[in-house]
Amino acid sequence: MPNFRLKIKTALDAEYAQIMKESLALSELRKTVTDFETAKAYNDKVAALNARVDSYEIRRADFQKEAEAFDASLKNRISQPPLQTISP
């Protein structure tokens, strides 16, 4: 995988880890919701995280399509028979 694809994959993995960390934090925060104000603050944070997840999923799907296309083209190049040389 060329270097730029590795950088994209690494960035996506880091973002996924951050999203999971925030999701766990929100699960803990949910336990502290006791009234309308804390519920509203919690819901706002959930909505913001959901928007980030949606954005992440679009970029992840785009990366997946591009990676699959790259893999297919590589497999195609590998499966091509070698050129035959003609002896004089």
Does the predicted model carry a pTM greater than 0.85? no
User: For the chain, how many structural domains are there in total?
Assistant: 1
Q: What is the pLDDT of residue 76?
A: 81
Structure token digits, residue 14:
């880091």
Q: Is 52 domain-assigned? A: yes
Q: Is 84 domain-assigned? A: no
The residue assigned the tokens 């040389």 is: 85
Q: Is 30 domain-assigned? A: yes
Q: Is 71 domain-assigned? A: no
Helices 36-79 and 3-30, packing angle to 10 deg = 160
Q: Is 49 domain-assigned? A: yes
Residues 33-82: pLDDT tens digits?
999 999 999 999 999 999 999 999 999 999 999 999 988 888 887 877 66
Q: What is the pLDDT of residue 87?
A: 65
Q: Containing domain of residue 60, as a range?
A: 3-64
Q: Is 75 domain-assigned? A: no
Amino acid, single-letter form, for residue 70? F
Sign of CA dihedral 53, 55, 59, 61: positive
Structure token digits, residue 71:
């893999």
